[in-house]
Structure 1
Amino acid sequence: MNVPNQYLKFINSLSPISEKVLMEMVSILRKVEIEKFDYFVKEGEISREIGFLEKGIVRAFYINEAGKEYNKTFFTAPNFIGSYASIITGLPNRLPQQALTKCIVWKFSMIDLERLTEKYPEIEKLRRRMAEYLFLRNEKRELEIALLDAQDRYLILLNEFPDIETFVPQYHIATYLGISPTQLSRIRKKLGIKQTNR
C-alpha cells in the first residue's frame, strides 16, 4: 500500500511510535477519493471513522435556525478529519464535513483502532496526544474569535492557509471570519489584496 510519507511524519510528530506499530496502523487504512461538495461525514450521522487528509480542503460547518451556514473550521492536508465528538459520545454528528476541492483521504474505522490500542499501549499515547492537539487547536480558534478583530483573524487565516483563497470562495471565508462578504472585501481592499473572482 502506497501510504503517503506525510501520514507517517504527521503521526510521528504527535507521538513517535515504532516501525512495527506504524505498519500495523497502515494496514487498517483505506484510500478513498471525495469529490468536490461531497461529504466525509454528514449532519445526523453517527461517525465511526477517522480520515487522514492527504490532499484537498474540507470545511466543518453548521446551519443556524434561519438556515444560514457558518464555517467553523477548514482542514487542509496533512490533517485528520472526522467527527470526534460523535465518535466519543455515540451521538449524531452536528458539524457536517464537506470537501471544497477534490480530496484524497485515508480512512480507518475506530473499531480497528480500538483493536490496535488494546494490542499496543503506545497507540494510547498517540491518541492522547491527538486529543491534546485538537483541544489546543479549538482553544486557539475560540480565543481568536473572542479577542481579535476580523482583519487580524483574516491575516492569521492567510498565514496558516496561504493558498486557501485559490480554492475556497470568498463567502466561505467570510462566514469563517464571522463577517459578510462585503466586509471581507473592504478588509482585502484596505490590506491591498487583489480581489479574486471566487
Structure 2
Amino acid sequence: MENLIKFFNNTVPLSETVISMMAGMFVCDELKKGAYFIKTGEYASEVAFLETGIVRAFYVNNEGKEYNKTFFSAPSIIGSYASLISKQKNNVAQQALTDCKIWKASFHEIEKVSEGNFEIERLRRMIAENYFLSNEKKELEMAMLDADKRYLIMQEEYPGIELRIPQYHIASYLGISPTQLSRIRKNRSL
C-alpha cells in the first residue's frame, strides 16, 4: 500500500483524509504470468495500481495476429480506461508478462468518491492526461522514427525489460519482426 500512496502523492499531493479514503478502496491481489487483467470483449469495471511486474496491452487483428500496443511497467495504473468511461466492451486486452502484484479498486467506487472531491478529481485527471501524452508520444514515434530509434527509446523507457520478457513481445511493440529486432540488437552490440 505504501507504494500506491507514494505513486498517488507523486502524481498529485493528497491530504491524509483523501489518502485514507483511497487506501480503503484498493485491495491487494496478484496477476500470475499469463493471466489477464481484462480480456477483449469484457466490460471493464476495475482499475489497478501495478506495484511489481510488467503487463502488456495488446489487440488481435482479423487474421489473429497480436500487436502489443504498450507495456505497463511498475509503478503504473492499469485498466481499460476506454471501456470504463464508454461503458462499452474492451478492445485492448491487458495480460501479465511477469508475475505481478497489483492493488485493484472498483472504478464505480472511485467515481462515487470523486463527486465533489477536488483532490481525487485532480488525481484522476492527471493520470488520464499522463496516459494520453504517453499514447500520443508512442503514436508519433511509430509514424516518424525508424525501428532503431524506437528501440533506443524503448530501452530508456523500460530499462531491463529485455531481460524479463520474450523478444517477440518487444518486436511486436516496436512494430517489427523478431528477425529485424535481432539485427538491430546485433548492430548495437558491434
Using the size of structure 2 for normalisation, the TM-score is 0.97
**Alignment partner, residue 120 of structure 1:** 117
Q: Match for 2:128 among 131, 139, 146?
A: 131
Task: Look up the match of 1:37.
Answer: 34
Unaligned runs of 5+ in 1: 194-198
Distance 2:38 2:24 in 1: 22
Match of residue 190 from structure 1: 187
The residue type paired with residue 114 of structure 2 is T
Once the two structures are TM-superposed, the CA of residue 6 in structure 1 deviates from its matched residue by 2.4
Give the alignment of 1:30-109 within 5 angstroms.
30-109=27-106
When structure 1 is superposed on structure 2, of 7-16 and 28-37 the one drifting more is 7-16
Partners in 2 of 1:62 and 1:8 — Cα distance? 31
Deviations 1:76-134 (A, max 9, x none): 10000000000010000000000001110100001211121125221111111111111
2-structure distance, mates of 1:145, 1:6:
32
The reply to whether residue 148 of structure 1 matches residue 184 of structure 2 is no
Residue 187 of structure 1, CA deviation? 0.3
**For the aligned residues, what is the CA RMSD?**
1.1
Count of equivalent residues: 190
Percent identity of the aligned residues? 55
1:162 correspondence with 2:159: yes
Worse-matched range after superposition: 39-48 or 14-23: 14-23
Q: Matched residues in 2 for 1:68 and 1:88: separation?
A: 27
Query: Do structure 1's residue 19 and structure 2's residue 36 form an aligned pair?
Result: no
1-structure distance, mates of 2:57, 2:145: 21
Q: Distance in 2 between matches of 1:108 and 1:21?
A: 15
Q: 1:23: Cα distance to partner?
A: 1.0
| 3-state DSSP of counterpart to 2:3 | helix
